[in-house]
Copies of this chain bind each other. A is one copy, B any other.
């Protein structure tokens, strides 16, 4: 999958990301992956649910993966952060 089908979820309002997904899918992209880590994980779930419940009803959750990333801070210490990937597929 090319990188242009990935929407990274950060701290912006949920609707910004919903719009990004809807725009891509209405432009013909059949599959979009939402990626988030840490506290943005709940927002990624919100985005997926809002897209499929309110905007594109023929979208299905293709799969959900969770994992852990190690982040090295400026001081050299390591922190683990959880990540999620939600695959949205247009039927």
Contact = CB atoms under 8 A, between A and B. Distances in A.
Contacts of A48: 66
Given A64-B64, A67-B49, A42 B82 contact: yes
Q: How many copies does the complex hold?
A: 2
Contact of A68 (B49, B66, B86): B49
A51 to B, nearest CB: 11
Given A40-B42, A49-B67, 13 more contacts: A39-B39, A39-B42, A41-B41, A42-B42, A45-B82, A45-B84, A46-B82, A49-B66, A49-B68, A49-B82, A61-B66, A64-B66, A66-B86
24 contacts: A38-B42, A39-B39, A39-B42, A40-B42, A41-B41, A41-B42, A41-B45, A42-B42, A42-B82, A45-B82, A45-B84, A48-B66, A49-B66, A49-B67, A49-B68, A49-B80, A49-B82, A53-B68, A53-B80, A61-B66, A64-B64, A64-B65, A64-B66, A66-B86
